[in-house]
Amino acid sequence: MQRIMGKLPTIPEYYKEFIDSSVDLDQTPKQCCPFHKEDTPSFSYSRDKGVWRCFGGCHCGGDLIELHRKNYKLCTRKEAEKSLCELYGVLMRKTKTAEIDRELVRDNVVEDNVVRLKALLLANCIERWLELDYVMSKYPVEILDIKDLVSKWEGGRTQQSV
């Protein structure tokens, strides 16, 4: 497990320094995405949540590390974290733990994952895939919306096979 020691910039600070120095995301959180060509703003920054998202061609988003990963075209989150820390002179310390970190599996987490997998399996045509993509592009993703899609599609499949 790694712990970051020091201060990394905020998303607006990083954006201004490495992506577009003329943009202040705190003042204008919606911009044209710097990662693909477009005419209308699809890049959005949420100060309250501390995340960014492209609702246009990229369909990606996340925290500062994900922004750096996308900006520098790095393959992994770990690689982006290391690069970002080096860029800002921030130390990454490995912390020793006596026990292995284990996430307890809760029934609702398992159920939610099953619903997501069912949705992926049932999105077997372009119309369904676009519906699922729309639901998944909302932040935060609502599992109830995915459950509704799965119910709708399972009902449709049952009716077709009768």
pLDDT in tens, 20-34: 999 999 999 999 999
Position 93 pLDDT exceeds 50: yes
**Distance, C-alpha 157 to centroid of its chain:** 31
Mean pLDDT of 82-104: 70
Where residue 95 falls among pLDDT bands split at 50, 70, 90? low
Task: Tell me which DSSP letter residue 39 carries.
Answer: S
Residues contacting 118, CB < 8 A, separation 6+? 150, 154
Residue 158 above 50 pLDDT?
A: no
The torsion of the CA quartet 152, 60, 23, 48, rounded to 10 degrees, works out to 60
**Residues 30, 44: contact at Cβ < 8 Å?**
yes
Sheet strand arrangement including 61-62: 30-31, 43-46, 51-54, 61-62
**64 neighbors 84 (Cβ within 8 angstroms):** yes
SS3 content of the chain, % helix, strand, coil (to 5): 45, 10, 40
Q: Provide the pLDDT for residue 38.
A: 86
How far is 62 from 46, CA to CA, in rounded Å?
A: 10
Tell me the average pLDDT across 5-31. Answer: 92
Hey, CA dihedral for 114, 117, 121, 122, is it positive or negative? Answer: positive
Q: Is 50 exceeded by the pLDDT of residue 162?
A: no
100, pLDDT greater than 50: no
Residue 36 has pLDDT above 70, yes or no: yes
Q: Is it true that the peptide bond before 140 is cis, omega within 30 degrees of 0?
A: yes
Instruction: Give the span between the Cα atoms of 63 and 15, in whole angstroms.
Output: 12
Q: Which two tokens stand for residue 39?
A: 């005419």
pLDDT category of residue 161 using cuts at 50, 70 and 90: very low
